[in-house]
């Protein structure tokens, strides 16, 4: 059975919101503890390009761990956006399944 990628992104968002760490640490923790567990096959096809681009963007940040609060906030927004797109896609599929 497929895992739920929205749940993993939701857990990542929760970890950013409720952590008392710096913004950079929150983003890195959310990514490494939750989002890296998402498999490409779990991501809806129309969101895969965005997810792949995000992964490529995060690779050097994980290595260097040097970015400021403005960039960390932007990364957090991308995480939220991808989660919303996954949720919308799932809702669309649920609607189609009910017809």
CB 83 within 8 A of CB 9: yes
* 29-69: pLDDT as tens digits: 999 999 999 999 999 898 999 999 999 999 998 888 888 99
pTM: 0.87
Boundaries of domain holding 44: 5-98
- The token pair at 24 is 């950079």
pLDDT band at 2 (very low <50, low <70, confident <90, very high): low
Decide which of 97 and 3 is more confident.
Answer: 3
Domain count of the fold of the chain: 1
The 3 state secondary structure assigned to 8-58 is: HHHHHHHHHHHCCCCHHHHHHHHHHHCHHHCCHHHCCHHHHHHHHHHHHHH
Measured on CA atoms in the order 35, 4, 79, 58, is the torsion positive or negative? Answer: positive
* 11-26: pLDDT as tens digits: 999 999 999 999 999 9
């Amino acid at each position: 059975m497929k895992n739920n990628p929205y749940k993993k992104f939701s857990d990542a968002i929760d970890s950013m919101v409720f952590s008392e760490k710096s913004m950079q640490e929150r983003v890195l923790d959310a990514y490494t503890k939750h989002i890296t567990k998402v498999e490409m096959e779990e991501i809806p096809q129309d969101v895969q390009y965005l997810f792949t681009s995000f992964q490529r963007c995060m690779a050097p940040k994980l290595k260097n761990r040097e970015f400021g609060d403005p960039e960390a906030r932007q990364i957090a927004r991308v995480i939220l956006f991808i989660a919303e797109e996954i949720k919308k896609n799932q809702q669309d599929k649920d609607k189609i399944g009910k017809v």
